[in-house]
């Protein structure tokens, strides 16, 4: 939190959290690391952004609680072992500054999600070099590649349109394998970056990066938030990328990067992911579910979106469509009696995909009548229940 975790605490004297020089940072980090290693099997500081001249806090990533008795109150144990004077739940600690009187150093200790060294190494990879993995994610978004705290995934396009979570096919949580798939220079990554430009060059030298794919990406609210709150990300988007020039990749091409390579398609990236990680069986299972359940789910998402959210009868209309509409020769019509729940229709089985626009048009023409039928049915059901 950049040394701001204790800013809201009201005290007689303002809490002083001075920024740390590199020497003080290293001194305190080494001392804290040795103490945390008495509580955890794995302790590290994810690599900071290049060219950083001072530090607001020290961020530790830990994994594997040594003593099971500490599981329920691990943060109390951390506070005690660090001798922390300040504590903000769950993992912000303030210890006394080694050389400035009445001042503190903010130490953040994050417990790696999941269990085991594999999860720990992946989380360290995700958190290292400030906004690097966020940048990698943005420039590869249109190809369906996504990195989360659980690992690298490829999103299956047919499913993503209606259920992003189900579309995610897990590939790996091994940083080396992930970099290999992106086509990144692994040796350079482990060597580290001397400057932001060097880091940006590395990020844009993967085998899948193309300016056109970056330019055509769908900007979302997360991107806008990053632009406001993440200085490195902002410099990448507003300064570095425009300086690269349209139609180029980056300032420096690696040996593995062919500047004349064709722009990859999302399907080509998917097929390469299936081949490299041996995920054909998992992919086929997702596609099978999509064909048996997902098509119907996608259809109803379109129907939901076609009814204005401000329509007061929206709820009854959606319920009424399932209770009062059936099909004959691929065409919908309103029944005289409500359809029993046990006889619920699977709409996607009654007409081809290219007929969906006609179905949506029919719903628009008949939704008022359907909504009124459902409201009347529900009202009569309530009255019947009250008589009982």
| pLDDT reported for residue 251 | 45
> What are the boundaries of each domain within the chain?
22-115, 129-283, 307-387
Taking residues 208-220, report their average pLDDT.
81
Q: pLDDT grade, residue 327 (50/70/90)?
A: very high
d(CA 32, CA 275): 44
CB-CB contact of 95 with 32 (8 Å): yes
Which residues are paired to 44 by β-bridges? 61
Percent of the chain at pLDDT exceeding 70: 94
Residue 247 has pLDDT above 90, yes or no: no
Residue 253 has pLDDT above 50, yes or no: no
d(CA 143, CA 155): 8
State the sign of the Cα–Cα–Cα–Cα dihedral 272, 276, 282, 285. positive
d(CA 241, CA 289): 40
Residue 346 has pLDDT above 80, yes or no: yes
CB-CB contact of 49 with 55 (8 Å): no
| pLDDT reported for residue 262 | 80
**pLDDT tens digits, residue range 151-166?**
999 999 999 988 999 9
DSSP state of 20: B
**pLDDT tens digits, residue range 34-74?**
999 999 999 999 999 999 999 999 999 999 999 888 777 89
| pLDDT reported for residue 257 | 52
**pLDDT tens digits, residue range 187-197?**
999 999 999 99
| pLDDT reported for residue 2 | 63
Fold for 22-115, please state it.
Beta Polymerase; domain 2 (3.30.460)
| pLDDT reported for residue 342 | 85
Retrieve residue 58's tokens: 């020290």
Q: Which of 140, 149, 151 is nearest to 174 (CA)?
A: 151
Q: What is the Cα gyration radius of the chain?
A: 28
Element (DSSP H or E) covering residue 208: none
CB-CB contact of 90 with 233 (8 Å): no
SS3 110: strand
């Amino acid at each position: 939190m950049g040394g701001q975790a204790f800013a809201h605490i009201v005290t007689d004297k303002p809490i002083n959290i001075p920024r740390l020089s590199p020497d003080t940072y290293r001194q305190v980090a080494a001392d804290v690391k040795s103490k945390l290693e008495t509580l955890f099997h794995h302790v590290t500081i994810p690599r900071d952004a290049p060219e950083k001249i001072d530090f607001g806090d020290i961020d530790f990533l830990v994994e594997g609680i040594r003593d099971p008795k500490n599981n329920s109150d691990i943060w109390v144990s951390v506070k005690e072992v660090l001798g922390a004077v300040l504590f903000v739940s769950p993992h912000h600690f303030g210890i006394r500054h080694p050389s400035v009187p009445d001042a503190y150093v903010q130490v953040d200790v994050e417990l790696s999600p999941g269990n085991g060294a594999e999860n720990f190494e992946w989380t360290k990879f995700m958190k290292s070099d400030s906004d690097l993995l966020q940048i990698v994610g943005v420039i590869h978004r249109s190809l369906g590649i996504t990195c989360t705290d659980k690992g690298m995934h490829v999103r299956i396009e047919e499913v993503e349109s209606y259920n992003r979570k189900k579309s995610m096919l897990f590939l790996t949580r091994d940083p080396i394998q992930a970099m290999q798939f992106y086509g990144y220079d692994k040796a350079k990554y482990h060597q580290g970056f001397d400057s932001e430009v060097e880091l940006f060059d590395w990020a844009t030298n993967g085998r899948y990066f193309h300016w056109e794919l970056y330019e055509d990406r769908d900007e979302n609210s997360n991107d806008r938030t990053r632009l406001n709150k993440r200085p490195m990300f902002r410099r990448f988007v507003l300064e570095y990328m425009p300086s690269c020039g349209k139609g180029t990749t980056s300032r420096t091409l690696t040996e593995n990067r062919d500047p004349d390579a064709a722009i990859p398609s999302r399907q080509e990236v998917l097929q390469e992911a299936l081949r490299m990680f041996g995920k054909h069986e998992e992919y086929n299972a997702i596609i099978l579910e999509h064909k048996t359940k997902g098509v119907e789910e996608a259809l109803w998402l379109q129907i939901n979106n076609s009814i204005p959210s401000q329509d007061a009868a929206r709820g009854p209309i959606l319920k009424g469509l399932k209770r009062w509409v059936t099909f004959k020769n691929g065409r919908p019509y309103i029944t005289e009696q409500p359809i029993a729940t046990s006889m619920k229709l699977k709409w996607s089985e009654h007409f081809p995909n290219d007929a969906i626009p006609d179905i949506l048009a029919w719903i628009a023409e008949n939704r008022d009548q359907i909504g009124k039928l459902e409201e009347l049915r529900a009202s009569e059901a309530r009255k019947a229940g009250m008589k009982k």
